[in-house]
Amino acid sequence: MGHHKHLQIGLECIRRNQDLRRTTTHQQRTPTQKSSRKHHPITKPAEMAPRHHRDVPDNKLNSWFPNTQSPVIISAPMLGAANGALAAAVSKAGGLGFIPGGLDFAPGSAQLAALADELTTARRLFGLADRTLTPLPVGVGFILSHASLVHFEETAIPLLQDHSPQAVWLFAPHPEHVVSGLVGRIVAALKNSGFIVVFQVGNVASARRAALDGADIIVAQGADAGGHQFAGGAGIVSLVPEVVSMLEREFAGRGIVVAAAGGIVDGRGVAAALALGAEAVVMGTRFLIAPEASTAEFQRKLVIETEDGGPSTSKSSVHDDLHGVRANWPSPYDGRAIIGEPWRDHLKGVPLEENIKKNQEAKAAGDVTRLVTWAGTGVGLVKDAIPAGDTVREVREAAQQRIRHLQTLF
Ligand SMILES: Cc1cc2nc3c(=O)[nH]c(=O)nc-3n(C[C@H](O)[C@H](O)[C@H](O)COP(=O)(O)O)c2cc1C
């Protein structure tokens, strides 16, 4: 699909959404609708608003998530930073907010208990009662790298069924769990329970695997992303089009939605991602300084002060070694963080053991300067600590303006 065509679709999505907003009230589904939720029964935009341009494909995201507005801005499920309040604020503003659920699925997991609390908070903020009867317009994100994944069906799925978020995001499976078929079984179980399954991937092969396993939405995460990602990563400029082309070629008719992640922090990035073929964007780093986020104070300050994201962040598995989380991140993955003292010591040749000891001693003494701050290369543009809903509206409108401006150029 040509560049110009994508811009036209971007504009058409915006127009169609404006029609949609005029003709619908947000998100009050009836119990009857929920009972057949398994088949994604939410009223389709096409049934609610006239279609002006018949050559434009259905916008599946607006159909699955009726409170979203195009271009759809998704907030990433960032462990330690995102939460129920952030996700609710993003979804209320027409984005799609994700709550992090962590990676420990063992019975009695503290992370799952915390997730239940955050889902309850989000439900309260939406003013929704009866849990399973009224779907909650946020998603939940899990990391699949841990050995406790074998308990997922017995621990995570009942929790999800109880709280009824609209989507479940999966990321970073251990290769053994992909090969054994466990990941495929988890995707099937989630879909059987009616959840839209989002899979974040970092290369074409993992996108193909996610499509084979049944993903509805594939997040193509580029190497500019903050936090964990594929070690052999490419930027979204090449990754997104190659993933889109592969899906069009090998999974024609499935209509898998592609979202772009990694380095997108404003309307310019969103417009670029749409031009590359993505239908939505994911932002993580931009939301780190939202007042609703759980980000620690020193991290907020660091994110705001950091300029020039390329040289001031680094992408490496050494961060995991230095900060004691290597066991959670098998070899396909590494992470991008703001360069701090531990990384500078590492470059100076300080041995790992000594470096770890310095980190632990600093932490014990209440010194935060050696703690890690995961962030992407877009960090240099993240300055405004405004409410998450305002960010969603501002970025969405800036992207719309950018696309309209581009159309005047030809
Ligand atoms: C602080 C932080 C924590 C993150 N935690 C998770 C996580 O728990 N699960 C996950 O799938 N991705 C996680 N990510 C990655 C995001 O899903 C997303 O790919 C990334 O934020 C997009 O790039 P950006 O930060 O440049 O917007 C995290 C990112 C950050 C910055």
Residues 359 and 234 in one domain: no
| Contact between 50 and 19 (Cβ < 8 Å) | yes
Residue 269 and residue 393 in one domain: yes
Number of H helices, E strands in the chain: 18, 11
Residues 193 and 259 in one domain: yes
Is residue 197 within a helix (H) or strand (E), and if so which, with residue range? Answer: strand 196-201
Q: How far is CA 66 from CA 20, 29, 61, 132, 162, in A?
A: 9, 10, 8, 18, 21
For residue 265, the ligand 1 atom closest to its alpha carbon is 27
Protein residue whose Cα sits closest to atom 17 of ligand 1: 76
Domain count, the chain: 2
- Nearest of 98, 223, 93 to residue 169 by alpha carbon: 98
The number of the ligand 1 atom at minimal distance from the alpha carbon of 103 is 8
**217 Cβ below 6 A of ligand 1:** no
Distance from Cα 66 to the centre of ligand 1, integer Å: 25
Residue 122 Cβ < 6 Å to ligand 1: no
**In the prediction, which pLDDT does 50 show?**
35
Query: Pick the residue with more confidence: 179 or 45?
Result: 179
Instruction: Quickly state the pLDDT bin for 133 (edges 50, 70, 90).
Output: confident
**What does the alpha-carbon distance between residue 187 and residue 214 come to, in Å, rounded to a whole number?**
7
From the centroid of its chain, how far is CA 97?
8
Mean pLDDT for 262-268 is 98
Verify that 194 and 247 share a domain, yes or no.
yes
What pLDDT is recorded for position 55? 40
Atom of ligand 1 nearest to the CA of 379: 26
CA of 130 to the centre of ligand 1 (A): 31
Q: Are residues 84 and 152 in the same domain?
A: yes
Query: Which residues, other chains included, contact 190 with Cβ-Cβ below 8 Å and sequence gap of 6+?
Result: 157, 160, 168, 197
| pLDDT grade for 54, boundaries at 50, 70 and 90 | very low
Residue type, 116: A
What residue numbers bound the domain in which 206 lies? 3-28+35-291+384-407
Shared domain for 88 and 154, answered yes or no, is yes
Q: Are the C-beta atoms of 34 and 69 separated by less than 8 Å?
A: no
- Whether residues 171 and 279 share a domain: the answer is yes
Residue 352 sits in the same domain as residue 393:
no
Q: What one-letter code names the amino acid at 51? A: R
Least confident of 47-61, 242-256, 307-321, 327-341: 47-61
CA-closest candidate to residue 294, choices 144, 74, 89, 138: 89
Report which ligand 1 atom has the smallest distance to the Cα of 171: 11
Same domain, 351 and 286: no
Same domain flag for 107 and 184: yes
- Token readout for 58 is 């259905």
> Residues 151, 50: one domain?
yes
Give the model's confidence band at 132: pLDDT under 50 very low, under 70 low, under 90 confident, else very high: confident
- Dist. CA 311 → ligand 1 center (Å): 19
Least confident range from 13-17, 74-78, 205-209, 357-361: namely 13-17
65 secondary structure, DSSP code: S
282 CB near ligand 1 (under 6 Å) = yes
* pLDDT-derived band at 59, boundaries 50, 70, 90: confident
Burial string for 196-234 (b: 16+ CB within 10 Å, else e) reads: bbbbbbbbbebbbbbbebbbbbbbbbbbbbbbbbbbebb
Three-state helix/strand/coil letters over 82-116: CCHHHHHHHHHCCCEEEEEEECCCCCCCHHHHHHH
Q: For position 11, which CATH number holds?
A: 3.20.20.70
347 and 199 together in one domain: no
pLDDT, average across residues 120-125: 97
Q: 58 pLDDT band (50/70/90 cuts)?
A: low
| Three-point CA angle 1, 242, 245, nearest 5° | 40
Return the best residue to mutate from 73, 74, 75, 79 for the ligand 1 pocket (most ligand atoms within 8 A of CB).
Answer: 79
Ligand 1 touching residue 261 (CB < 6 A): yes
Q: 192: which residues sit within 8 A by CB, 6+ positions away?
A: 38
